[in-house]
Chain A
Amino acid sequence: EIVMTQSPATLSVSPGERVTLSCRASQSVSSNLAWFQQKPGQAPRLFIYGASTRATGVPARFSGSGSGTDFTLTINSLQSEDFAIYYCQQYNLWPPWTFGQGTKVEIK
């Protein structure tokens, strides 16, 4: 099983700041990496797939990069609606696809 490790666990930021979230895979997943946003009481929402492709309706301030084992989700000029938990997920190897443990972006 591929283990996905996200850092940091929690990020305290102010609105308007630029945020960088990291995700590392225990072995190469090529570009088969997705990012999800989850808010309390809601299902996860696909934000990025293919490491860098924004899903439908995702604002341009969100961008993904990386390949192999190291990936980054960047949020430019954080908005109030962006405070949430972000998960990375590899889909290079089944079974199983695996998620990271999440990074919580909270208001500073």
Chain B
Amino acid sequence: EVQLVQSGAEVKKPGESLKISCQGSGYTFSNYWIAWLRQTPGKGLEWMGIIYPLDSETKYSPPFHRQVTISADKSVNTAYLQWDTLKASDTAIYYCAREIDMATLPLGVFDIWGQGTLVTVSS
């Protein structure tokens, strides 16, 4: 079964750092783009960035550039989303998702999603 499994919910204080994960299984992890998305009641669903695990090529959506770091370790079939300094406004559900087809260029169609990771940032 093709699936993405994300790490568990986190509760953090403003200013702390955090790294959440997304592990793929049931397919050749390196060959499919992985995206990270944010969902909040106010702004809805937003694309944060995408990564190609084979060579770690990464593309960020402008609002998230330099706000987060997206990385991948193909040896353990895992992608990561990292914050160095969390803010209360980072409180959200974060999803990872897999591109529908193998491709060296992202198509933009993501059919396999992780279960989501709730991140709560509060003092």
Contacts and interface: CB of A to CB of B under 8 A. Distances in A.
Interface residues of A, number: 23
Contacts of B54: none
A100 B47 CA distance: 12
Contacts of B110: 46
A83 to B, nearest CB: 19
A87 B60 CA distance: 22
A95 B61 contact: yes
A7 to B, nearest CB: 15
A46 B97 CA distance: 10
Interface of B: 44-47, 59-63, 95, 97, 100, 106-111, 113-116
A21 interface: no
A99 B44 contact: yes
Contacts of B113: 43-45
B116 A94 contact: no
14 contacts: A43-B95, A43-B115, A43-B116, A46-B109, A49-B109, A87-B44, A92-B108, A94-B47, A95-B47, A95-B61, A96-B61, A96-B63, A99-B45, A100-B44
A101 interface: yes
A91 to B, nearest CB: 2
A102 B62 contact: no
Contacts of B107: 91
Interface string A77-89: 0000000000101
